[in-house]
């Protein structure tokens, strides 16, 4: 970012907003009697969750080598995408920039607030064309660039993240939903250098806990305070907070998950080479493949008939389907079917 301070990027009404403070979550007690929140005194799960997610943040801070004040936790990283747009984009006035193709939810949440969505078309290898980026970045209504790496649905990682941080006069959100599968360095280490960086990560993919709906934003304390101000106070429920803490106790779980997925990814890639109806397998850094097939109607239709659900990207990406790496039994079903087409 050239010369903006973060506050000049924030909507004025958001800067003035008073956060909802849960008194009990911001103080220490020994044996409190809770008569402050109109909860039931009976049963389990009868209390509101910790609105500041203290335990979770302290564990994540140690794991990621950042300060707890640099972490915001959302009901999935989806919620964080929504909140980031709300903080920086004036409805009907400001815009976001995203790669094309990329994760549809950036455009979805922008559209809800009537923020314009500028799309940066990727080249034939799904790389960003830097000159196109520089041209697009001149638009004065732009507040946020969503940079997804590895990118969904293409699977490739984006290099030279610092180039985008240096040449964008707004917030750069690096969405690292698939970083654990990539073998690449996280952009977390750039947080100290760039005040306009937000890194998104999630428990939904490599950690294998999509059902708990927990995602993280890592950024400067200034940006994290803004996210905490606009979020619903009790956005991450008690059961999810407990489940994530338990999961973090078993450090080997992530490594084992990732190792199995990478083994299966390699197996699938080898199998794909033998299959007649596939014309191209794009290189992937994630837990999915983008493949191009010769006859999309026939291939996609045949998979659906066998109740093998995949993500059809055609016509947006001509002839292409995004396919998740599953377990061996699932992958074998997929390969056997593809071989029969």
The residues of the shown chain that bind ligand PLP, judged by CB under 6 A, are 76-78, 103, 148, 152, 175, 177, 202, 204-205, 210, 215
Beta bridge partners of 118: 97
The H-or-E segment that residue 12 falls in is: helix 12-16
CB of 141 to ligand PLP, least distance (A): 24
Instruction: To the nearest 10°, report the CA torsion of 154, 82, 161, 316.
Output: 20
Q: Is 174 helix (H, G, I), strand (E, B) or coil?
A: strand
CB of 85 to ligand PLP, least distance (A): 14
Cα-based distances in Å from 186 to 8, 144, 149, 160: 27, 19, 9, 12
Q: What share of the chain is helix, strand, coil (3-state, %, to 5)?
A: 40, 15, 45
293 near 279, Cβ under 8 Å? yes
Cα 61 to its chain centre, rounded Å, is 18
CB of 152 to ligand PLP, least distance (A): 4
CB of 202 to ligand PLP, least distance (A): 3
Nearer to ligand PLP, 154 or 169 (CB): 154
Nearer to ligand PLP, 75 or 228 (CB): 75
Nearer to ligand PLP, 173 or 268 (CB): 173
What residue number has its CB nearest to ligand PLP?
76
Nearer to ligand PLP, 9 or 98 (CB): 98
Helix ranges (H only) for the chain are 6-9, 12-16, 54-64, 76-88, 105-112, 130-136, 161-166, 221-230, 238-249, 252-273, 296-305, 328-340
72 near 80, Cβ under 8 Å? yes
Nearer to ligand PLP, 50 or 175 (CB): 175
CB of 213 to ligand PLP, least distance (A): 7
**Hey, what are 338's tokens?**
């593809």
Nearer to ligand PLP, 15 or 210 (CB): 210
Nearest to 263 by CA among 217, 335, 326: 326
Beta bridge partners of 322: 290, 311
Nearer to ligand PLP, 87 or 214 (CB): 214
CB of 20 to ligand PLP, least distance (A): 23
CB of 137 to ligand PLP, least distance (A): 21
- Packing angle between helix 76-88 and helix 105-112, nearest 10 degrees? 50
Nearer to ligand PLP, 205 or 231 (CB): 205
CA distance 220 to 196: 8
Nearest to 216 by CA among 235, 206, 203: 203
Q: Is 49 helix (H, G, I), strand (E, B) or coil?
A: coil
CB of 337 to ligand PLP, least distance (A): 25
């Amino acid at each position: 970012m050239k010369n903006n301070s973060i506050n000049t990027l924030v909507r004025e009404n958001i800067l003035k907003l008073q956060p909802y403070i849960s008194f009990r979550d911001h103080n220490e007690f020994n044996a409190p009697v809770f008569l402050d929140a109109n909860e039931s005194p009976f049963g389990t799960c009868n209390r509101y969750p910790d609105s500041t997610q203290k335990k979770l943040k302290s564990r994540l801070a140690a794991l990621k080598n950042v300060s707890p004040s640099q972490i915001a936790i959302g009901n999935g990283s989806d919620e964080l995408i929504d909140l980031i747009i709300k903080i920086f984009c004036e409805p009907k006035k400001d815009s976001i920039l995203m790669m094309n193709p990329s994760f549809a939810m950036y455009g979805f949440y922008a559209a809800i607030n009537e923020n314009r969505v500028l799309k940066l078309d990727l080249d034939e290898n799904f790389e960003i064309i830097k000159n196109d980026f520089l041209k697009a970045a001149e638009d004065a209504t732009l507040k946020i660039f969503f940079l997804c790496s590895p990118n969904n649905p293409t699977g490739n990682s984006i290099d030279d993240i610092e180039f985008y941080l240096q040449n964008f006069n707004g917030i750069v959100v690096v969405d690292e939903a698939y970083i654990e599968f990539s073998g690449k360095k996280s952009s977390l280490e750039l947080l100290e250098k760039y005040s306009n960086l937000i890194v998104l990560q999630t428990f939904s993919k490599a950690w294998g806990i999509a059902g708990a709906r927990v995602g993280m934003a890592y950024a400067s304390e200034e940006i994290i305070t803004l996210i905490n101000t606009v979020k619903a106070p009790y956005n991450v429920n008690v059961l999810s907070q407990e489940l994530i803490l338990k999961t973090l106790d078993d450090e080997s779980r992530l490594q084992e998950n990732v190792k199995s997925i990478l083994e299966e990814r390699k197996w699938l890639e080898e199998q794909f080479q033998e299959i007649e109806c596939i014309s191209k397998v794009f290189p992937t850094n994630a837990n999915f493949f983008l493949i191009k097939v010769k006859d999309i109607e026939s291939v996609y239709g045949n998979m659906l008939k066998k109740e093998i659900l995949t993500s059809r990207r055609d016509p947006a990406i001509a002839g292409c389907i995004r396919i998740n790496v599953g377990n061996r039994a699932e992958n074998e079903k997929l390969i056997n079917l593809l071989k029969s087409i």
